[in-house]
Structure 1
Amino acid sequence: MIKTIKADGSEKEFLAGMKKRSSEVNAEVEKTVRAIIDDVAARGDEAVKEYTARFDCPDMQYYRVPDEVIQDALTNADPDFVNSMLNAQENITAFHTRQKQNGYMMTDESGCILGQRVRGLDRVGLYVPGGTAAYPSSVLMNAIPAKIAGVGEIIMVTPPMKDGTPNNDILVAAALCGVDKIFMCGGAQAVAALAFGTEEIPKVSKIVGPGNIFVATAKKLLYGTVDIDMIAGPSEILIVADDTANPKYAAADLMSQAEHDKLASSVLITTSQRVADETVKEIERQVADLSRKDIINTSLDNCGAIIVCDDMDKACEIANEIAPEHLEVLAANPLEYIGKLTNCGSLFLGEYAPEPLGDYYAGPNHVLPTSGTARFFSPLSVDSFIKKSSYIYYTRDKLYGAKEDIVRIANRERLTAHANAITVRFED
């Protein structure tokens, strides 16, 4: 069961273990993924189909999912599920629309023009886990900001289920978001196909979306050939709680992330020993009725902790050091901590803003930095799908006025060809 630690210095060993858990590299996985990447680069679709048959299903119904199959999935879907997805889509769209940027242009009396263009990427690849671990919410969270950014084409890859068919919930989400093409393949081979392009799968500029260790490793190895969203580690939640916190809610929220993965990290930092003790009891009571209780128990045993500290300032200090993916505040005045908690992927304030609200519905993106990278990385957003470029137009007179400064700086850097490219224009 989850361990309780006093914040008297003994918590440092646990925090060090968290960092080690996130930084370990599996050499065997990397070796396997490199071989798959090389094979896909050499043999294209043939290799992708072979790996899909070996790892997912030997008898796929399709490679590219026909458009009519996607539309049929939406037409025949549970109306209540579709309505819930539409409501979530509306919230996500409203939030991300505020992120959209415009280019600008500056001019002066000489006719000089300076500007910046903001454009959506031409084509993006979206990786979506399939089978029993299918997450239609991830389709919304990745495809919606891409569409708002003006991405020209979204190519989805998703593994087939064991019977060779696509997951219908994934198809519903894709139909709602206007995904352009869907291919039934997963794993490192699908990531490689998107990065290099094959005869059937178009080459993309960026790959986004969650996946297992093979997917994450492939994205890491192919970064540079293609852009990626981030290298995601196991899921994380950290709860900062004072003595007014409801242990029932704290326990439920810790387990909401522990069920993801045996390496998921669930941490409660509280100023109250009573809250700590009662949260342990609530975990024991609630976990018995949960479908993934074995994963939850293993996760909490290995990567979970309740840290009891003297005051909320210390709690915030530890939270900022951990820089978690999800950070909840269960306190009498949660809004007080917006400015104090500076390192997190997403901040959930108050007992009626549990983490699953952000996962599915509220509007902010659920693709968040993990493994302490919230110290310098940001969540997925419209910005993730744009590129910026500048442009310059100078008149002859304007360049002549700048000539001496440019030549002086170029000569100072001993780049005489740079200087020559300026002076040659004024030799006549």
Structure 2
Amino acid sequence: MATTETLRSISVGLEAIDEKKAQLRRAFEELQAHSSLIPSSSSSTSSFTNLKWADIDSYFTSLQSGLQAKFALLKSAKPVPEGPQPPPQPESAANIKSGSATSEPLPPQPESKAKRKASLSVPEPVPSAGPVPVRPELKSFCEKMDSFGLRDFLLARPRERAVIRDELADAWKHARDPAMLVVDAMQGITGDGSSGGVADVTGLRRVSVALLEALMRAKVEIGAQVKEKAMAIAVEWNRNIAAGVSSEGDDDGLEKLCFLQLVATFGLVENDLFNMNDLVEYAVAIARHRQAVDLCRVIGFGDRICDVITKLISGGKILVAVKFIFQFEQTEKFPPVPLLRGCISETKKIGQKARRTGGRSGKNFRQSWVMLCFKCSSSLGDDGPKNNMLM
């Protein structure tokens, strides 16, 4: 278990994340300012030029939320007292026999020494932290079926959403109909003007993703009435997305992520209400998000996952494509080694061209990109493009 000093150190590190993200954003914007040095002819190069800060921010925000959730679990465990603790004094045989305090204690037996040595050399297993205890507010919202209260509670706590999402697993037990609670909280999600009192539609969508994900994880029973209500929302929403009514400013694919999470959580794809070509496009748009692979599995893309991978490759999203290739076991159809080699070759050219103009940002970009490719290829065994990779 963690000591108080360890918890304090972790807390300081987590508090520094926002500052580090700000530094990363400045570096990214500097790279973007030198984008004219990057040739636009190859797909692997376009993976940089197509990259947006929203993609990077979404990735690191996901990591940050996960770390904060684990830290909350760690804090809930009983901390180990700091400093050495005095060992228990062995009770003498004389004291045991007669109760006299003047008797000399017997020397410890060899077995006792061995046991003490073993207890020092082998740490005791740390017990599991167990389910995250639910805070009273969440329990109250669920008991009262207060969907707007639950929604506003999450809207006001963007940095705690990952922790709250884990707490909801226990909170759902106090709700008469958890699925209906979530659907009602999503009022205004389609972006058609009926915001349900929420001006921040983007924030509402982030909250809805957390609620839907928690609902799907809990595997609660979904009744026919609430499923029909979710289906009506999804059909209208899909129509708005196709018409471009609600996708303005959706550069990071958040709207499509929330839509696919709704479809997956309520099993709406079974009714063949949606064109699979549209779902493929949505999957490509959200591919960089943490939930993308799981959503594609739950929805059941089948052979159409190859279309997703093909579009990722043609769009220059090589490393994301490689992730999908391995997750869906498509290495025979899409050999990852040539894809990674292409990334490395192009980044070498970019770095060399940037150095000739005197820019360090191009060199740093090349090193970072090549190291990322190296990490991907490390799982490929002897077939990976490791030889002379950094030359």
The structure with the greater share of residues assigned to helix is 2
How high is the TM-score relative to the length of structure 2?
Answer: 0.22
Query: Which of the pair has more CA radius of gyration?
Result: 2
TM-score (normalizing by structure 1): 0.21
